[in-house]
Amino acid sequence: MAIQDKVAIITGVSRGIGKAICEKFINEGYIVHGTYNTSKKEAEELKKQYKEKLEIYKVDFSIREQTIKLIDKFTGIKMDVLINNAGMFEGENFEKFNLDIWFNTLEVNLNAPFLLAIKLHNNIRKGGSIINIASTDGFIGSFGSISYSVSKSALINVTKSLANNLGKRDIRVNAIAPGWINTGMSTDESLEAVKLTPLKRNGKPEEVADLALFLASNKASFITGTTIVIDGAYACVDYIMKKEAESFK
């Protein structure tokens, strides 16, 4: 794809999936405007590597005023792609539920992406794209991360609603729902997912980035309002049915 002079705004580019998406789009010819919050060192290293191809902005999306200030900075930028990747995850104790986690998580994972889309959609060129990074957690109930699951479930619906309203301007809106992805912050639980995943491994950030690039391209010109799961078929597995099948051998 020859994609010279195209512009992408990508939130949360300093590490993990966001970094992989940022690098993928830069390597395909995009100029990227990216955000980070706490990972200053990683963000500065990324800027040093890509120089004029990347502009970085520090923003804490849990603070509404900072989100609005960022939007104000972007109002003069014409873009082709908006990728809402920045997010927060914090575990919860259900019996001693901390409502601050609820409100902060919804602000970062739901309100900020919605505000960016609503306030900047007129800056997106015809044929452009909005991509929201959701999660397979948005399809299921949660035990210790209710705020996160709810925020991703709502983001999936926001994706559909934005697609309905922006289709007349030839702007496509889709979401990506990653399952277990090895981002350098793997836990014992995430590594255990390999045992259940039919492909027998967890995903790579670069694989999510490949999907994002596809959704932003003309090859996905008739795909909008949908959420694509990228989880190696983990969500297809029922643990009890798997154990039952093993007993038949």
Check pLDDT > 50 for residue 122.
yes
- List pLDDT tens digits, range 25-42: 999 999 999 999 999 999
Domains of the chain plus CATH, in order, are: 6-247 (3.40.50.720)
- Lowest mean pLDDT across 49-58, 80-89, 184-193: 184-193
Q: What is the pLDDT of residue 100?
A: 95
Q: What is the pLDDT of residue 1?
A: 40
Task: Examine the residue annotation and report whether 148 is marked as an active-site residue of this protein.
Answer: yes
Determine the Cα angle at 106 with ends 30 and 57, to 5°.
35
How far apart CA 92 and CA 89 sit, in angstroms, is 10
Half-sphere exposure of 107 (CA within 13 A, CB side): 16
Q: What is the mean pLDDT of residues 78-84?
A: 97
| The token pair that represents 5 in the structure block | 């002079």
Q: What is the mean pLDDT of residues 139-160?
A: 96
**CB neighbourhood size of 142 (10 A):** 16
Check pLDDT > 50 for residue 189.
yes
- List pLDDT tens digits, range 220-232: 999 999 999 999 9
- Residues 249, 195 contacting (CB under 8 angstroms): no
How far apart CA 76 and CA 85 sit, in angstroms, is 21
User: Residues with Cβ < 8 Å from 125, sequence gap 6 or more?
Assistant: 78, 79, 80
- Residues 159, 84 contacting (CB under 8 angstroms): no
Of 30, 148, 234, 239, which one is the catalytic site residue?
148
Q: What is the pLDDT of residue 248?
A: 87
Check pLDDT > 80 for residue 184.
no
Question: Which of 155, 151, 207, 158 lies closest to 179 in space, CA to CA?
Answer: 207
- Residues 119, 71 contacting (CB under 8 angstroms): yes
Q: Of all residues in the chain, what percent carry a pLDDT higher than 70? A: 97
Check pLDDT > 90 for residue 241.
yes
Is the pTM here over 0.85, yes or no? yes
Q: What is the pLDDT of residue 66?
A: 98
Q: What is the mean pLDDT of residues 116-143?
A: 96
Check pLDDT > 70 for residue 4.
no
- Lowest mean pLDDT across 68-72, 91-95, 160-164, 207-211: 91-95
How far apart CA 3 and CA 32 sit, in angstroms, is 13
Using DSSP's 3-state secondary structure scheme, residue 85 falls into: coil
